[in-house]
Amino acid sequence: MSENHEYSGPIPDKSSLSLRGDCENCFGLCCASLPFAASADFAIDKDAGQPCHNLQSDFRCGIHTSLRQQGFRGCTVYDCFGAGQKVSQVTFGGHDWRQAPGSAKQMFEVFPIMWHLHELLFYLTEALALQPAQSIHDALRSALDETERLTLLSPDSLMELDVAAHRADVNALLLRTSELVRAEASRQQKNHRGRQKTYGRGADLVGANLRGADLRAANLRGAYLIAADLRGANLRVADLIGADFRDADLRGADLTESIFLTQAQLNAAKGDVNTKLPPSLTRPAHWSTL
């Protein structure tokens, strides 16, 4: 699989399949490993390590085409960043947990660890494509190499990994990347009035009226934008890492050149044909029905 390659210099493509879920090569790990609670996003409770009752013997979802209608909206907004196929095909060498039930517990526990590592690979890959951050590209490349190396560890070594510490190191680089990119964007905005908008990590913007807001180069890291009205907002070069867009209204919003935006964030939001997206992301199918 493509995940086996070692990074060797050129800036990788963020949209490459190795950083996107490939269900064909995964043993249904997100559907077995992760817990969920009955809510607006999930119709049932499920414990971690308990395979979902909709997961078929071929590791396909039995209600894939009607997840939203059947109360499993949360499944449609999840992205494993390629961790599922990495664990299935590389870490466990293509031996699935139904054929080798003795490996199931460890495989289900390794999956969330791999998810964290692949999420970091996704962000680091994007950071390496951002020219204003060129001064730290060497550090970003080293972090990418190290993260890739960690994904190739054995199951036992992955279980012992201090993911939080590695994540903190990488996050410092991503934060610096964000500062460099947004500062450059602000310099280029000839008619930009005032300072970059900074809400701080985890800002509470739930239900906020941000219709038509000028959020260019804003820091929205981890902001809670649940059900916020962002219609027509300008979010170019805004840092959107970890922002919660559930039910946020992005119709007509401009997200081109926003940084650290994921497909899962988009899938959780509302939008339309007038929402402008970064080229590496795709318009969610359910937007066409809004």
* Residues 6+ away with beta carbon under 8 Å from 133: 127, 140, 176, 177, 180, 181
The C-alpha atoms of residue 172 and residue 245 are separated, in whole angstroms, by: 23
- 264 contacts ligand SF4 (rule: CB under 6 A): no
Q: Which of residues 57-116 bind ligand SF4 (CB under 6 A)?
A: 61, 63, 72, 75
The C-alpha atoms of residue 230 and residue 239 are separated, in whole angstroms, by: 15
Q: Residue 53 or 195: which CB sits closer to ligand SF4?
A: 53
Amino acid identity at 55: L
* Residues 6+ away with beta carbon under 8 Å from 183: 132, 196, 217
Q: ∠ CA(260), CA(31), CA(290), 5° rounding?
A: 55
Q: What is the smallest separation between the CB atom of 72 and ligand SF4, expressed in angstroms?
A: 4
Q: What is the smallest separation between the CB atom of 178 and ligand SF4, expressed in angstroms?
A: 32
Residues 15-54, one symbol each (x = binds ligand SF4 by CB under 6 A, - = not), give ----------------x--------------------x-x
Q: Residue 231 or 246: which CB sits closer to ligand SF4?
A: 246
Q: Residue 68 or 166: which CB sits closer to ligand SF4?
A: 68
Check if the beta carbon of residue 225 is closer than 8 Å to that of residue 250.
no
Binding site for ligand SF4 (CB under 6 A): 31, 52, 54-55, 61, 63, 72, 75
